[in-house]
Amino acid sequence: MEILNKLRNFDAYPKINEDFYSRTLSGGLITVVSSVVMLFLFLSEIRMYLYAATETKLIVDTSRGEMLHINFDITFPSIPCSLLSVDTMDISGERHYDIRHDIVKRRMDHLGNVIASNQDGVGAPQIERPLQRHGGRLDHNESYCGSCYGAEQSDDDCCNSCEEVREAYRKKGWALTNADFIDQCKREGFIQKIKEENGEGCNIDGFVEVNKVAGNFHFAPGKSFHGSYNFLQDLLGIQTEYYNMSHKINKLSFGKEFPGVVNPLNGVKWTHNTISGGMYQYFIKVVPTIYTDIRGHKIYSNQFSVTEHFRDADAYPKPPSGIYFFYDFSPIKVIFTEENSSFLHLFTNACAIIGGVFTVAGIIDAFVYHGHRAVKKKLELGKHS
């Protein structure tokens, strides 16, 4: 009992007899308000505990030999699909022209309605009986070989379709200025198909994969090729000085989507109303990113920032018409990691909420109580005087 009595002397919370309590209306109101505040703060802490928080870390990007996946969805209201091609090139020297795989072109009328969709690009299939290069009577077992119209690399080369003739011209670095004189194109009705699309627009949706080095991809009128270090374009027999490259970027992203990603070019729209065309340039800085969710699943993706610039076709030297996306890579990699708060952290914050609100409410209650008593005492003194 003596030990218990000594322990009782250490009580930091001495109990006051209930007869000495004085309950007030202001104290009851403050108690209700402080209870609501504590409940609100406690629920917010529970919410933060249940939902994962995202931690950010920056490291040097040491990855090598990776590929960059570029997703795009772009609408051109004033350029027909037959004139648009997608090309890529990078500083390593790798180039891809008139890319068709994994790309869908949708023909659109002047109101923006989709007329038709083509998975493999615009063009006619190879004809079954192409013209023989040397003419003359064909024997039953004789194989057909269409002329390349001077673009053959050797005497054994054959061009049995309009596309093969145009490809041979591109390899030579020649411009196919008038496809009306190409028999394969005339038999396939290729020129007629292009003329039928006059006045239409085009939506290009798909993706390309490129090396993870600085480079560019672009959308340009005609089949682009590179010769003598100058860009030339085969305009499929429809020659005009300017092209209206007005466009709307519905989507542009590098890699997979992840929670919280912001693609700054989504929804960007450029309208060029002058008679001259031009070159739209987007200079993009790609930031490699890894997002790890609460279950440990990693998403390898990229973020990017962008600067826009337009070069008018009247400038010298005259720029090629088109939309060019020049991309480069940041040496820093961003790592996002979803993490849950620990239960100990929740318990600590809950104690801090209860103690903090209780203390502040006690100070306010004491201030109101003593202030009320002081005012009441002055009023009583005034009456007696």
Q: Mind listing the pLDDT tens digit for each residue in 314-367?
A: 777 777 788 999 999 999 999 999 877 777 877 888 889 888 888 888 888 888
pLDDT on residue 223:
55
Average pLDDT, the chain: 78
Question: Helix, strand or coil for residue 97?
Answer: coil
Per cent of the chain over pLDDT 90 is 23
Distance CA(147)–CA(184), nearest Å, equals 9
Distance CA(323)–CA(306), nearest Å, equals 14
pLDDT on residue 265:
93
Q: How confident is the model at residue 22 (pLDDT cuts 50, 70, 90)?
A: low
Q: Mind listing the pLDDT tens digit for each residue in 85-99?
A: 899 999 988 888 878
Q: Which two tokens stand for residue 86?
A: 């997608």
Task: Specify the range with the lowest mean pLDDT, choosing from 68-82, 107-121, 200-214, 307-321.
Answer: 107-121
Give buried/exposed letters for 303-332 (b at 16+ CB in 10 A, else e).
Answer: bbebeeeebebeeeeebbbbbbbbbebbee
Average pLDDT over residues 304-308: 94
Identify which has the larger pLDDT, 89 or 54: 89
Radius of gyration of the chain measured on its C-alpha atoms: 37
Residue 127 DSSP code: P
pLDDT on residue 275:
55
Burial of 83 (0-12, 13-18, 19+ CB in 10 A): buried
Phi, psi angle pair for 233, to nearest 5°: -140, 135
Average pLDDT over residues 259-285: 84
Dihedral sign computed on CA atoms, order 148, 153, 157, 162: negative
Task: Specify the range with the lowest mean pLDDT, choosing from 2-6, 134-138, 151-155, 341-345.
Answer: 134-138
Dihedral sign computed on CA atoms, order 118, 119, 121, 125: negative
Distance CA(275)–CA(35), nearest Å, equals 70
